[in-house]
Amino acid sequence: MFSISTAAFALSSGTIGAALSSSLSNIRSIAISYGIVYHPTPVSFLEPAHALGCRLAQHLWSNWGEDEAGLRDGEVDLYSINIPLVEGLLSKEGLKICWTTMWRNSYGQLFKKVAGPDPREQRGTIGSVGPDPLLDGSMTAQNDPSVVVQKRSMELIFKFEPDIAGLITPTLDTLPLGSDAWAIHQGWVSVTPLRASFGEPPTQDIKGIEDRLWKMKL
């Protein structure tokens, strides 16, 4: 399947999602994905990739890493492996394998508007008073048929047209050194230890519960 590297893809990945569910059940789990480089992918790359994935999984299982915050007695919760489907799989040397971190990236625009009002156009006139017929639920087509027409004219229609070129084909200078996407870009296998949790920013300044209490009133 497609390479599940970087935070943007990992957080919407069923592969890593299944591994996360397993780790939350205190079961060791490894997510293995393939990085699609050539279209179509040569069939000759598949068996070497399968064999490499099995060897990697077996090695990790026998040499499972430690994490003091792990759910299972200080073990790493899960691993994410990404194997690029490249010609190096067929070479005698094979692919380089690299411990990596996850690139914290983000999606661009996912949807494009194809119909609807121009947000730059203002409805009504400055200084006008009274309820907005599009927002006031008390005004219906029974007492003002034009409201229905107005509501239809205000309908927004979008289509799924993601702008993710920076995620699919990033340039090397945009990739953090040692990240999973950086390794894949080099044609290397990435192995990323993960925690089964949403990441939290560091809180070194918080020393006690009093430091966690909000001092302001909302």
Mean pLDDT per segment of 10 residues, for the chain of length 218 residues? 58 82 93 88 95 96 93 92 94 93 76 73 47 47 49 72 72 82 88 84 69 76
Write out the residue limits of the CATH 3.40.1210.10 domain(s) in the chain.
Answer: 6-107+164-197
Which amino acid is present at 128?
Answer: S
First to last CA, the chain: 48
SS3 of residue 76 by DSSP: coil
The alpha carbon torsion through 199, 205, 211, 215 (nearest 10 deg) reads: -90
Tell me if 82 sits within 8 A of 33, measured CB to CB: yes
40 preceded by a cis bond (ω within 30 of 0): yes
CATH number of this structure's domain 6-107+164-197: 3.40.1210.10
User: What's the alpha-carbon Rg for the chain, to the nearest Å?
Assistant: 26
Please tell me the predicted confidence (pLDDT) of residue 8. 63
pTM above 0.95, yes or no: no
Please tell me the predicted confidence (pLDDT) of residue 5. 59
Q: Return the closest-CA partner of residue 79 out of 184, 192, 190.
A: 192
